[in-house]
Amino acid sequence: MLAAFVVNSTVDEPDANLSDGIAADSLGRVTLRAAIQQANALSGGDTITLPAGTYSLTQFGSGENAGATGDLDILDGVTLTGAGADVTFINGLSQDRVFDIAAGVPVKLSEVTIESGLAFLSQEDGGGLRNFGTLELTKVVVANNSASGGGGAIASYGTGSTLTITDSTIESNSSSGPLGGGAIFNGSLTTITRGVLKNNSSSFNGGAIVNANSGTLTLLQSTVKTNGVGLGAKGGGIYNNGVLTANYTTISGNTASDGGGIANVNFSGTTSVSLLLTTISGNSATNRGGGIFNDFGATVLITDSTITANSAAAEGGGIFRQSEVKMGGSILAANSAGSTGVDLYGPMVSLGNNLIGSTAGGSGFRTDDIKNQNPHLGALQDNGGPTFTHALLSGSPAIDGNTTNTSTTDDQRLLPRPVDANNDGTAQADIGAYEAQPTSLPLPPGANNVTITLNGGNVDVTDNTTGLVIVTVPVNPVTPLIITGTSGDDSVTIDFSNGNPIPASGATFIGGGSSGSGDQLVLTNGTFDSVTHVFFDASSGKITMQIGTTVSVLNYQAVTAAIIDSLTVTNRTYQFAATSDNVTLADNGTIGDGVSKLSSVSTSTPVAFSVPSSSLSIRVKDGDDTLTLTAVDALFAASVLVLGDNGNDLLDASALTFNVSLQGNVGADTLKGGTGNDDLNGHSEDDSIDGGAGSDSIQGGAGNDVLVGAAGIDTVLGQGGNDSLTGGFDNDQLDGGTGGNDVLVEYADANLTLTNAQLLGIGTDTLVGFESANLTGGAGNNTLTATAFTGEGAVTLNGGGGNDTLLGAASRVNVLNGDDGHDSLKGGSLKDTLSGGTGNDSLQGMGDADKLFGQDDNDTLLGGTGSDTLDGGTGTGDLIVDSGNVHFTLTNSLLTGNGTDVVVAVEAAQITGGISNNKLDASEFSGNVTLIGDAGNDTLIGGAGNDSLQGDVGSDSLKGRDGDDLLKGGNDTLTTGTDNDTINGGNGNDLLLGGIGNDALSGFTGNDTINGGAGNDTLYGGDGNDNLLGGAGSDTCLGGNGDDTLNGQGGVDKLSGDAGVNVFIDIADRVEGFAINPLPVWVNAT
């Protein structure tokens, strides 16, 4: 069974009987020494309880090692617990050390002070304790001990030895031997947690600690301060030959020749220092390395630490480097040196995100290091946590400066990291050991309607229901103010009437009420040059208020009901996140109260805001956004700017009556202006812009844009891409820009005249840089003229309703559409497309291979030169008209002559020859044809329809063929077909041959020969000596003037010579005095 001893006497007497298991001196008193002796005699880990008091070791005799005299030798496991280090003292009286722990022995000491020990033999170690075993010190003070060797307070070494120190103070100890270490000489595995080592000294190295090459030392949340070494010695705080790790630790105010804080010197093996979240401050060196001296062959790794306010008389105020130093996320600034390298002497390996006060004398920095800037650090002081630190002051570039963040979740003070120290809405780690923290202001339960105001150096929270101040917190300009709402629906008013309650580092309101309508944020009684609202999502965002150079930032989270911003503001800006937003600007519903409202569909908190005096800007970020400006309050008089971003945005201000500026960006945007004089810019990609009424400025930007000026005197610039521009009414400035095919588009019920420089008709538009045009008339009878336009593209003219005249460009490709009404369409010299539309239209292709489409009703198609397509459309009386001094051949599918024209759905044709001997052949055409020979000896051949053949000047041959034909000749031969034909020989000596139908033949003037052929014919010789032959059938023959010969031939005929000396071959048919009175029109027709 393990023994438990309770000491009841402070005297120093040995145990009376080591074999009885009872810790008692000769008088039966339980003394500390007797208890130690019995614990040594008994196996196992015994316990000793030491009441308050001073236990002075008066049994002198240093040569004894069993605990009977001199120091307390511990030879077996023991746990010794005092009543507290402030009331329980074990005093060596400077005669011997206090405790000597044998190898392999586990010992736990707690709640005591170990003092005035002395290792006085030549170069003897461990003035307070010497440890060869496993020693744990908890809540222990080791003070005023000294050693002639190493470790004025503690020497710990030996194979397998360990030393663990927790919540303990080691102070005012000293060593005078060459091993050094005013407090500790360590050659074992040692961990110090929340320890304080101060005011210790060494004549040699290591004012507080020497960590030998066999030692591994870890400092956690500990302080090593105001320790020092003798002249020429190194390591005022720590002298390291082994492996040293310092985390969450402060090493400050130590002095040495080299390495005021730490001297890292390699004798053999591995010598390394690793610092994490550690502050090295206020140390000094009379030679080199005020903070750290790193000698040859040793390494230093520094992470998220602060090295500042150190000094060196020579080089390296912060760090003197002769071997590898790696550093990341740390501050090395505001140190001093008598020579070069105030912060760093020599090269280092930067791991990035360091803040270097001065790069002079050092090298190895990265681009993501902040260089040559003031860190703006506070004094080394108690900022919370187990150790002193340097706070980051307002304006410190270290705040949120660690852009790659850190591997730790807290700072040196054990406070959260990272946090949003500069209140920009993003939690990002600071550089160095200190993470700036916000000031917390939680609203008390039930305080749902409050006002926050500034009251001197404090912020007051007033309950609006009772009028009482319920919370007051001091304003800290360095850290943001965090206002946390209750679990209910809160209304929090930020009132600027007593000054700005938002600290320089900003504030955040965290709502979260979910029991009803949600939380509300109100801003009032403040005047600012600008206020910018940035929406992060449906319930969070940031409000930035600026007056002069003073900027105040208020973040908010979980605010869903509304933001009421009644501040007096010159310029307002609202910015949405990179989502597809649907935003509406409107009045708040009360006319003339000076308040408008901005809301969205689930991407922002609704904002009711007082109208700005100068400008309102609304920006939607990436995403396909819709922003509709429906109205503003009647008192609104500011300018409005709307900015799109990446994405296909719809920016619609068509309902507004004042000037707006709508700016698209990357994406196919749609911009709609209102009735004011608007500025609209599509920027890149294919945009659609409509200026609306008013004198607008429209810019398409890059991309193929559709730009419409509408009413007003507009300036429309297509810029890059192939654009479509419409000026609308009034005198507009239209510039197609640099695209290869910019199109002028206009719609008007007016006569329009287009040139390269102007469009006349609904104003005088000035044109620049157009390759194409598309003009459309209205319901009236319009004339659209583009004959003088010579752009490189096509011209499209659309008649619209009414009987329109469309005159295409003379030397460009035209697309002419008659639309409704009886229209006249005329192309140019290139390949045109003409479409008549509804109505009886006239289509004239002119030169080249044109396409003419008559479409509805009865149309006239003139192909002109070139191989054209002539399509009559759905009418039943479509007519082809052509002429030329060439041979023409017409079939139901082709017309050859001036070209090879394709014929579709045409019911009639009119073809006129030229001055040469032309052949006009319509024999394969089934419709009605009019053939006019003109001059020359022409051959005209009709087809199956009812044809009209006119030989005109020259000896022509006219053949009517099938159908009821009309033939008019000169000195011609006229031949009918199978139907009932009419032939008029005209002037000259003609040969008229009827057909098998009932024909009407008139010789007119000249000596004509007329043969009626089969059928019941009517023959009239006219002037001249004519020869009339009735042919088969019952014919009527009238000689007319001249000496005629009449022969009725077969059938029952009626013959009359009329004037002149006549000869009747068939005398039985002669009927004298017979006359045709009056003569039919066809007899004398020419």
Q: What is the pLDDT of residues 520-529, one digit of tens each?
A: 999 999 999 9
Q: Are 973 and 957 in contact (CB under 8 A)?
A: yes
pTM of the model: 0.63
Query: Tens digit of pLDDT for each residue in 50-99?
Result: 999 999 999 998 778 889 999 999 999 999 999 999 999 999 999 999 99
| Domain end position, chosen among 437, 461, 483 | 437
- Choose the final residue of a domain: 408, 437, 466: 437
What's the whole-number mean pLDDT along residues 321-340? 97
Q: How many domains does the chain have?
A: 2
In angstroms, the Cα distances linking 460 to 440, 495, 521 are: 13, 10, 17
* CB of 201 closer than 8 Å to CB of 236: no
Instruction: Determine, yes or no, domain membership for 324.
Output: yes
Give the pLDDT confidence of 669-709 residue by residue, as tens digits: 887 888 888 887 888 788 788 888 888 787 878 888 787 87
Q: How many angstroms separate the Cα of 180 from the Cα of each of 204, 232, 538?
A: 5, 13, 65
What's the full length of the chain, in residues? Answer: 1086
Torsional sign, CA 335, 341, 345, 349: positive
- Domain ends where: 379, 414, 437? 437
pLDDT confidence bin for 246, thresholds 50/70/90: very high
Does some domain include residue 381?
Answer: yes
pLDDT tens-place string over residues 452-507: 999 999 999 999 999 999 999 998 887 789 999 999 999 999 999 999 999 988 99
Q: Quick one: which of 277, 273, 280 has its CA closest to 301?
A: 273
Q: In whole angstroms, what is the distance from residue 257 CA to residue 993 CA?
A: 142
Amino acid at the residue 612: P
Residue 26 resides in a domain: no
Looking at residue 975, what is its pLDDT?
60
Q: Report the percent of the chain where pLDDT is more than 70.
A: 93
Which amino acid appears at position 346 of this protein? G
Chain-centre distance for alpha carbon 472 = 42
Is 701 within the bounds of a domain? no
- Helices (H) and strands (E) counted in the chain, each on its own, are 2, 115
Q: Is the pLDDT of residue 995 over 70?
A: no
Tens digit of each residue's pLDDT (9 = 90 or more) over 149-172: 999 999 999 999 999 999 999 999
pLDDT band at 961 (very low <50, low <70, confident <90, very high): low
Q: Could you give the CA distance from residue 660 to residue 681 in angstroms, rounded to a whole number?
A: 11
Q: Does some domain include residue 599?
A: no
Specify the pLDDT at position 423.
67
Which domain does 994 fall in, by range? Answer: 913-1084
CA distance 15 to 6: 14
Q: Pick from 347, 295, 286: which is nearest to 317 by CA?
A: 286
In a domain, 301, yes or no: yes
What digits encode the pLDDT tens for the residues 718-733?
788 887 778 888 888 8
Question: Is residue 345 one of the residues assigned to a domain?
Answer: yes
| CA–CA separation, 507 and 392 (whole Å) | 17
Residue 177 has pLDDT above 90, yes or no: yes
Q: Are 1039 and 1022 in contact (CB under 8 A)?
A: no
Is residue 55 in some structural domain? no
